[in-house]
Amino acid sequence: MLRRYATLKSVTLVKIASAASLTALLLHVNPAAAASSPPPPVYLDGKLLPLPVDPVIVSGQSLVPMRAILESEGAKVSWDAGTKTVTATKNDVELTYRIGSDVAYEDGRQLALSTPGQTVNGTTMVPLRFFSESLGNVVKWHSYSRTISISSAKTYETNVEYGANLRSTPDSASDSNIVRLLPTGTHIHVIREIDADWLEVQTENGEIDFLSAKPKYTDYGSASLTDKQADELIAAGSEYLGTPYEFGASSDQTDTFDCSSFVKRVFQQALSIDLPRVSYDQAKVGKEVSIDDLQKGDLLFFSARGLDIGHVAIYAGDGQLLHTYSKTLGVHFEKFDGQWKDRFVTARRIL
């Protein structure tokens, strides 16, 4: 009897221990699994908006510090601490809201809020989308990056010069993110440069999405984008370091290059710029620049083989050329001095 009792007691203890271990495991895992995502960064007109308190997500809505967001968007703010009521005015719009209420008033007209404002750790927080849109701005939540973009644009300075797809994410690997085609002649506003390949843009009908930054698609340009694209160009060319030289190499393959087929390939691959096949014709593209005003990505042309222009190289910055002409070296970097300065004819800027 005592033995049976001891056995039962052991089994019970094992079960209790197992349950305790399971509970401990669950307690250990669940907090990590349930941990909230980091607060979303907020961009206003393309610039990261510094907020005194991080945004919080409540019922799918972003709540942000009241005064910081309203004043950043150009509103004059007054606060009645007794009634916990904020009044924001911008241009001809007056917004009135009592913290905790599910309604606000725009010029006396009652509007419903899906998520009321509230006080979080002593800071008055209000729903970003409602107040930003009420002040005449456009708001977009980018789920791919968990960021919020606010645009106050009222002018559309950039022209689409070649029909391009507006996309919901800065990625062309799939067609699933295509919003619609922007035809030639469409006017857009560039909010910010994501990288060398993508622009965040706003359309005239209030969409905030992404468009290719490659030069063929729009007339947008900036010094910062040019720098990014020049770096992209040199990075693309560097992929072919050591590739053998072959005079007259076909531009339809990458096993061998001559100077101009290499340049043509790199500009097409990196920036979708379709240059002529031979260096003489490439020297007619873009604008001429002085040898004292060279920038990374410029094309440099040289006399060769008895021709006024018989060789082309990409200026890689810091006095370096990226080119090919030698069966021994193939594609390589080389210092821009000596014979190259003696044989230099002209430089052209494509970017």
Residues forming beta bridges with residue 142, ordered by sequence position:
147
Q: Quick check: is 311 catalytic? A: yes
Among the listed residues 142, 187, 189, 323, the single catalytic one is: 323
**What angle is formed at CA 91 by the lines to CA 154 and CA 151, rounded to 5 degrees?**
35
Strands 307-317 and 320-323: antiparallel
Among the listed residues 28, 142, 189, 259, the single catalytic one is: 259
DSSP 155-191: ---EEB-S-EEEESSS--S-STTEEEEE-TT-EEEEE
Q: How far apart are CA 266 and CA 116, in angstroms?
A: 54
Tokens for 91, please give them.
Answer: 């241009």
Q: What are phi and psi of 18, to 5 degrees?
A: -65, -45
To which H or E segment does residue 349 belong?
strand 344-349
Residues forming beta bridges with residue 123, ordered by sequence position:
120
Among the listed residues 28, 189, 311, 332, the single catalytic one is: 311
CA end-to-end distance (rounded Å), the chain: 93
Contact 163, 183 (CB under 8 A): yes
Q: How far apart are CA 166 and CA 159, in angstroms?
A: 14
Tokens for 245, please give them.
Answer: 């030289």
Q: Quick check: is 28 catalytic? A: no
Strands 56-58 and 118-120: unpaired
Tokens for 291, please give them.
Answer: 């040898």
Contact 125, 119 (CB under 8 A): yes
Give the catalytic positions in this structure.
Answer: 259, 311, 323
